[in-house]
Structure 1
């Protein structure tokens, strides 16, 4: 039940943005074994004055940098997360052609009782 928020600079085509969403979904299916059609993602585009990615940690990021935040059940292992990071960088590199240096990922663990996916009930608690 991952929930994804992607932040990026404005100006990319719809096809580019859809390739990001598709690549992230495929990466989660491969690394986290999420069920088919478990896709809850949003992209927020920002004007250059409202979007900044530094070069901290020895990574030379470009204007194509993505900030990807993924909230998952707290049951994911470190190995699954590492596989997810690799899958994301590889898939977004293949399509739409984003450099690995421009893929910034943050995974947040949330207990299952913190989720309601509809009907006002805690389906996983």
Structure 2
């Protein structure tokens, strides 16, 4: 059930699709996500009305082929699994789109089962009576 957002600059639909599939394949291979469990928002910014900004943080030089991948998923994966995920995403993105691994920026945000609704205004995975994390009485 990971939710993935991919942002790039000046990317055509074929590259966007290849980026989305690369991330999905990496999630399946490294974390055991079911193949049909795909929730993605793929956005190509035009550089005029929407933009991406990047610097050379940690001495890693970026250019305008940068890809930002934001993954929201349920908590519980180990550091080793996440590291394997990052490596596999970078490798597959490079293999399928030619994007250098240095240009692949990945973030993971974790949450709990009650933090998901897949439609109908319901928290399908939440135990009955569960309160969202941080809920105030």
- The equivalent residue for 2:100 is 99
Task: For residue 96 of structure 1, report the CA deviation from its aligned partner.
Answer: 1.0
Matches within 5 A, 1:45-56: 45-48=44-47, 50-56=51-57
Greater relative CO (CA pairs within 8 A, separation 6+): 1
- What is the TM-score with the length of structure 2 in the denominator? 0.86
Aligned length: 124
Which SS does the other structure have where 2:107 is aligned?
strand
Structure 2 residue 2 is matched with structure 1 residue 6: no
Contact 2:25-2:35 within 8 A present in 1 as well: no
- For residues 87-108 of structure 1, the C-alpha deviation after alignment (integer angstroms, 9 at most, x for no partner) is 1001001001110000000000
- What is the TM-score with the length of structure 1 in the denominator? 0.93
CA distance in 1, matches of 2:46, 2:56: 19
- The equivalent residue for 2:19 is 20
For structure 2, the 5+ residue unaligned runs are 127-137
- The equivalent residue for 1:110 is 111
CA distance in 2, matches of 1:48, 1:36: 33
Which SS does the other structure have where 2:97 is aligned?
coil
Which structure carries more helix by proportion?
1
Task: For residue 47 of structure 1, report the CA deviation from its aligned partner.
Answer: 2.8
Which SS does the other structure have where 2:62 is aligned?
coil
CA distance in 1, matches of 2:91, 2:79: 18
Q: Which has the larger radius of gyration?
A: 2
- The equivalent residue for 1:63 is 64
Structure 2 residue 80 is matched with structure 1 residue 79: yes
Task: For residue 13 of structure 1, report the CA deviation from its aligned partner.
Answer: 2.2
- For residues 33-85 of structure 1, the C-alpha deviation after alignment (integer angstroms, 9 at most, x for no partner) is 00121110011222335211111111001110011100000122211111100
Stretches (4+) displaced over 3 A = none
